Amino acid sequence: MFAISWFDIIPVAITFLSIAFVQLLNVYLHVLGDNTAAKVVDISETDCAVSGNGAAAIAKSGSISPTASNGKLEKQASLLDGDSGISLNSIHSSSTAATTTTCATPGTPSATNSSPTHNAHNGFLTHTVSFETLGDEYHEDEDTLSLENLFPCDQTEIYASKKISFIIDELIQTEVNYVNYLRKGISNYGKLQQCADLPDGLRGEQRQQLLLGNISEILELHDKEILPMMLRNQRDLKGLFDEFATHFEKNNFYCYVGFTMGKKSSMQLRQENREWLQSYQTTIKDKLGIDSFLVQPIQRLTRYPLLLQQFISEFYKSGISCKPVLSAVCKLETRMRRQLDVVNQAEEIPNIDELNELDLQQQGYFRRSTEFDAQHFPTKKKYRAKIFLFDRCLVCTEVRKKRLAYRQHYSWEHVELQRPLELATANANKIINLMVKQQDRDKAKREEYSFVAAEASVVKQWLHATHKIIEIARHEKSQRDTFSLPMDLVLGVVLAIWLIWQYL
């Protein structure tokens, strides 16, 4: 036994108290920041509490009509502090259903509050969070509020249906074939640099990367994650669909967006070296060729929602009462369709001309593109524009027949998006104004662009997307400002102090 004196306890106690104080201060500042943002982002209860017919309208539609808002039609949502400047101002109450505010019936679950994760992408810290993790919108058929979804159901009735069993078997078997086909294609065309008669147009690792894109990354995803998940859950459909949806929530399928963005360069390279590639195809006895190999990823991504739609259709026809499985498959199908939309929109990015020194590969993940009738106020020019949203900037292009001409790009910290004040006009809900912040804070913001959409729903979805991008940036900024100590470091310091005090 050894005696412990107050001289032994005091240094350790002071160390523990200091560490606890730092951690509590960290938590307090983090919560304070979240509460401040929530106060600005969310619509207050006073604004949402509308008496009489107004409250009934909110309960039914989930949004506040102009007549029920007592004239308070403009809401401002600043998502970051004044120093950062990333904000989304003047979000009209008609778009509240697309934000994290819940003014509908009490007890309705709020938006998913998942924390974004980050990966290194092109040398930068990028967001691996998908849009579904911030204010998700569910499929019409999803009964997410039902308590039945929280409990397991008997799935034997599902497997008793021959048509549904056939669809599940097809989903898994085609996944096996897909992985095998990708593995064989990479084996055939992934080592072209070893060919002695390889033409100069295909020599070098950079040309090899342009030719095949990131198809090795796609193979790794399906070989190590998707296929094992399917085989593991082939007798548990809810588990299969839930785990599958998780991969979309984590943005693991963004590799398909990168593959699509490199599609144009790959096609051009193949066309320039067509004669040699056909000769090589004959040599290795590949009946389908490299073109068929490189079209497989997009065909596979398109096939997923079609199979799920067949599953849902047969589910209803069979009269099966297993709502947890139905809810899970509807949620997965919705996420797949959204990912497919992003992939299709990404195909237009290589068509942007006159980018000069702007490298879109360094702007984080691509999120959405939308067409507007644009007016550029400094030049007083009007044209049809396509706006591309990335994690780090907004890119404005002019639509010119089959190509897109680059016009401007704006970092999120330098712009604000506003809805017009004259809400009495019929087209007000279709308009977004882009304001540029001046370097001198005393000066007013400069009106840069006016975007007019064909439908108000397009503006609502677009604002919803920008809100999520800005919210992710706000979360990332709050994480950068957080000071925390790793627990292994804390324990190491405590042990070192105790040993020094004990033996010296």
Q: What is d(CA 339, CA 342) in angstroms, rounded to the nearest whole number?
A: 5
| Residue at 393: amino acid letter | C
217 inside domain = yes
Pairwise pLDDT comparison (491 vs 242), residue with the higher score: 242
Q: What is d(CA 391, CA 100) in angstroms, rounded to the nearest whole number?
A: 19
- What tokens does 18 get? 């200091």
Helix 237-249 / helix 323-346 crossing angle, nearest 10 deg = 30
Closest CA to 303 of 341, 251, 340: 340
Query: 174-220 pLDDT, tens per residue?
Result: 999 999 999 999 999 998 988 889 999 999 999 999 999 999 999 99
The verdict on 165 and 275 lying in the same domain is yes
Whether 30 shows a pLDDT value over 80: the answer reads no
* pLDDT value of position 6: 67
* pLDDT value of position 181: 96
The verdict on 333 and 377 lying in the same domain is no
The verdict on 252 and 326 lying in the same domain is yes
The verdict on 310 and 420 lying in the same domain is no
* pLDDT value of position 425: 59
Q: What is d(CA 298, CA 145) in angstroms, rounded to the nearest whole number?
A: 34
374 inside domain = yes
| HSE value, Cβ hemisphere, 13 Å, CA-based, for 78 | 9
Q: How far is CA 487 from the centre of its chain?
A: 31
Whether 224 shows a pLDDT value over 60: the answer reads yes
164-171: long-range contacts, CB 8 A cutoff, minimum separation 24? 164/311, 164/314, 164/315, 164/318, 167/307, 167/310, 167/311, 167/314, 168/234, 168/237, 168/311, 170/307, 171/230, 171/307
- What tokens does 114 get? 């998942």
E strand or H helix at 403: strand 403-411
- The CATH code of the domain that includes 202 is 1.20.900.10
* pLDDT value of position 310: 94
The radius of gyration computed from the CA coordinates of the chain, to the nearest angstrom, equals 27
Q: What is d(CA 404, CA 350) in angstroms, rounded to the nearest whole number?
A: 9
Pairwise pLDDT comparison (162 vs 104), residue with the higher score: 162
Whether 140 shows a pLDDT value over 50: the answer reads no
67 inside domain = no
Residue whose entry in the numeric block shows the structure tokens 């004196």: 5
The verdict on 324 and 421 lying in the same domain is no
**From 165-174, 346-355, 365-374, 412-421, the region with the lowest mean pLDDT:** 412-421
**From 117-126, 159-168, 217-226, the region with the lowest mean pLDDT:** 117-126
CA distances from 197 to 266, 277, 463 (A): 20, 11, 53
Q: Is the dihedral of CA 283, 219, 328, 58 positive or negative?
A: negative
The mean of the pLDDT values for the chain is: 75
Pairwise pLDDT comparison (79 vs 343), residue with the higher score: 343
The verdict on 316 and 408 lying in the same domain is no
* pLDDT value of position 114: 39
C-beta separation of 234 from 301 below 8 A: no
Query: 335-365 pLDDT, tens per residue?
Result: 999 999 999 999 999 989 888 778 888 888 9
125 inside domain = no
Task: Tell me which of 304, 332, 347 is where a domain ends.
Answer: 347
C-beta separation of 438 from 458 below 8 A: no
* pLDDT value of position 345: 93
- Mean of pLDDT values over 378-387: 92
Query: Would you place residue 417 in the very low, low, confident or very high pLDDT band (cuts 50, 70, 90)?
Result: confident
The verdict on 360 and 262 lying in the same domain is no
Strands 415-418 vs 74-77: parallel, antiparallel or unpaired? unpaired
- The CATH code of the domain that includes 433 is 2.30.29.30
| Residue at 187: amino acid letter | S
Q: How far is CA 270 from the centre of its chain?
A: 32
* pLDDT value of position 5: 66
- Mean of pLDDT values over 414-430: 74
* pLDDT value of position 11: 65
44 inside domain = no
**From 279-283, 483-487, 495-499, the region with the lowest mean pLDDT:** 483-487
The verdict on 378 and 286 lying in the same domain is no
Closest CA to 411 of 349, 480, 476, 473: 473
Q: How far is CA 262 from the centre of its chain?
A: 20
Q: Strand, coil or helix: what is 391?
A: coil
Q: What is d(CA 30, CA 24) in angstroms, rounded to the nearest whole number?
A: 10
* pLDDT value of position 445: 78
- What tokens does 247 get? 């991969």
Whether 380 shows a pLDDT value over 70: the answer reads yes
- What tokens does 161 get? 């249906």
* pLDDT value of position 63: 37
* pLDDT value of position 96: 37
Q: What is d(CA 118, CA 6) in angstroms, rounded to the nearest whole number?
A: 46
277 inside domain = yes
Q: What is d(CA 111, CA 130) in angstroms, rounded to the nearest whole number?
A: 14
The DSSP 8-state label assigned to residue 88 in this structure reads: E
Task: Tell me which of 332, 347, 362 is where a domain ends.
Answer: 347
The verdict on 266 and 253 lying in the same domain is yes
Pairwise pLDDT comparison (90 vs 255), residue with the higher score: 255
132 inside domain = no
Contacts of 480 (CB under 8 A, 6+ apart): none
E strand or H helix at 85: none
Beta-bridged to residue 431, according to DSSP, are: 452
The verdict on 332 and 455 lying in the same domain is no
The verdict on 357 and 337 lying in the same domain is no
Whether 232 shows a pLDDT value over 70: the answer reads yes
Whether 149 shows a pLDDT value over 90: the answer reads no
Q: What is d(CA 23, CA 289) in angstroms, rounded to the nearest whole number?
A: 59
**Residue 209's domain spans which residues?**
154-347
pTM of the model: 0.69
E strand or H helix at 370: strand 366-376
* pLDDT value of position 130: 44
The verdict on 223 and 307 lying in the same domain is yes
The domain total for the chain is 2
Whether 134 shows a pLDDT value over 50: the answer reads no
Beta-bridged to residue 421, according to DSSP, are: none
C-beta separation of 385 from 397 below 8 A: yes
227 inside domain = yes
Helix 263-272 / helix 205-212 crossing angle, nearest 10 deg = 110
* pLDDT value of position 79: 32
The DSSP 8-state label assigned to residue 223 in this structure reads: I
